[in-house]
Amino acid sequence: MKSATKNRIKATGFISVLYVFLLCYTIAALVAWGIFLEHQNQQLARQQIIILGLRTDRIRQAGVYRAGLNHILNQEKGHTWQYFGEGGTFLIIILIGAGYVYGGVRKHIRLSQQQFNFMMAVTHELKSPIAVIQLNMETLSRHRLDEHTRTRLLENTILETSRLNHLCNNMLLASQLESRQFRIVKEEFDFTGLVDQCVRENNLRSNYHEFTADLQPELLISGDRLMLHLAVNNLLENAVKYSPRGSVITVQLRVREGQAILRVSDTGAGIPDSEKKKIFNRFYRIGNENTRTTRGTGLGLYLSRFIARQHGGTITVTDNNPKGSNFEIILPGAETGNLQI
Ligand code: ADP
């Protein structure tokens, strides 16, 4: 995979060099033509002046000579303005076009690099749970195991299956978005229950993180249960993935002015300000393939933002204090059967 990435970087470098070379060549040709035409213009004017001098008597026809000379000089000046004016316009058009093409090509190369990384990540993300499940099943079927080991293997298999399920849901939704076939199906349901379920699932999955949940009880919202499950799970999975073992992940659910406010905070490395917007782009992952240690597809936050927006809500990220990140989803149309806290 690293050599494929290197090849791509080489190809990108080659295309950039070729592009800059062609651009410089075009500009140099334009300037050379400009100088050549101006030179011809001056030569033509000089010859016209000589011919004028031969045809008119400078003393007796001084007025005619001056008028002719003025005409030639004005013509020469007019041509000079024409060449520089048109040349300058062409140069500006070429530079604007070049800027657009360069921006477009760079965007295309970046997207295709991200798509390539995504394919590699998906292959890896699909293969590793399948390998674990296969190994667990083979161990269970071939060996006589004590009850404790059996339970551990079965639990582990269930967790890997649910990881696969989560990944498939993300990919399915992403492909539905691509083909614009996606529609949310709204129903009124207990959002507190859903967040609680997600926290429990992730708590079970991660032996190395501690979850603390402070949830507004009986918070009802009208939304797509499956989609919101996916969005909340994406935030919790990220908190686990991007914060150190042994750290605490805090989940808070509040209601304010008819809005449900879900906040997931971790104490990981956090997200630099320059990346805070970009992480919601499709396939975007911070860093590069050679230095990244965490697995992922770059789809989770893109989908979470899409889901929040489909519900008329927002998703934002801020810095946690003293370190880490806070992800906040705000959804309108929340009601509570209980007192507000
Ligand atoms: P994935 O996690 O599969 O790479 P996401 O779309 O969920 O994709 O996240 C995009 C990127 O945002 C991640 O690759 C990671 O660099 C960054 N990120 C997301 N959540 C966090 C977090 N809680 N802490 C630090 N970085 C994060």
Among 164, 154, 162, CA closest to 128: 164
Give the mean pLDDT of 150-158: 90
- Residue 9 banded pLDDT, cuts 50, 70, 90: low
Give the per-residue pLDDT at 4. Answer: 62
Q: Is the pLDDT of residue 286 over 60?
A: yes
User: Closest residue (by CA) to atom 7 of ligand 1?
Assistant: 300
Using the structure block, give the residue that is written with the tokens 């396939």. Answer: 283
CA of 279 to the centre of ligand 1 (A): 7
Q: Is the pLDDT of residue 340 over 50?
A: no
Neighbours of 111 (CB within 10 A): 13
Give the per-residue pLDDT at 176. Answer: 82
Query: What backbone phi and psi angles, to 5 degrees, belong to 187?
Result: -150, 155
Q: Is the pLDDT of residue 325 over 90?
A: yes
Give the per-residue pLDDT at 102. Answer: 85
- The second-level CATH assignment, the architecture, of 121-179 is Orthogonal Bundle (1.10)
Give the mean pLDDT of 107-123: 79
How would DSSP label each residue in 179-212? TT------EEEEHHHHHHHHHHHHHHH-SS-EEE
Best probe residue, ligand 1, of 114, 119, 242, 297 (max atoms within 8 Å of C-beta): 242
CA of 103 to the centre of ligand 1 (A): 26
Listed by start position, the domains of the chain span 2-116, 121-179, 187-336
Best probe residue, ligand 1, of 124, 209, 281, 285 (max atoms within 8 Å of C-beta): 285
CA of 303 to the centre of ligand 1 (A): 12
Q: Is the pLDDT of residue 233 over 90?
A: yes
Among 132, 182, 139, CA closest to 160: 132
Give the per-residue pLDDT at 6. Answer: 65
Give the per-residue pLDDT at 301. Answer: 96
The residues lining ligand 1, judged by C-beta closer than 6 Å to any ligand atom, are 234, 238-239, 241-242, 266, 268-269, 271, 279, 284-286, 296-302, 325
Report the predicted TM-score, pTM, of the whole model to 2 decimal places: 0.70
User: Closest residue (by CA) to atom 14 of ligand 1?
Assistant: 285
- CATH fold of 187-336: Heat Shock Protein 90 (3.30.565)
> Residue 33 in 3-state DSSP?
helix
pLDDT in tens, 293-314: 777 888 899 999 999 999 999 9
CA of 150 to the centre of ligand 1 (A): 34
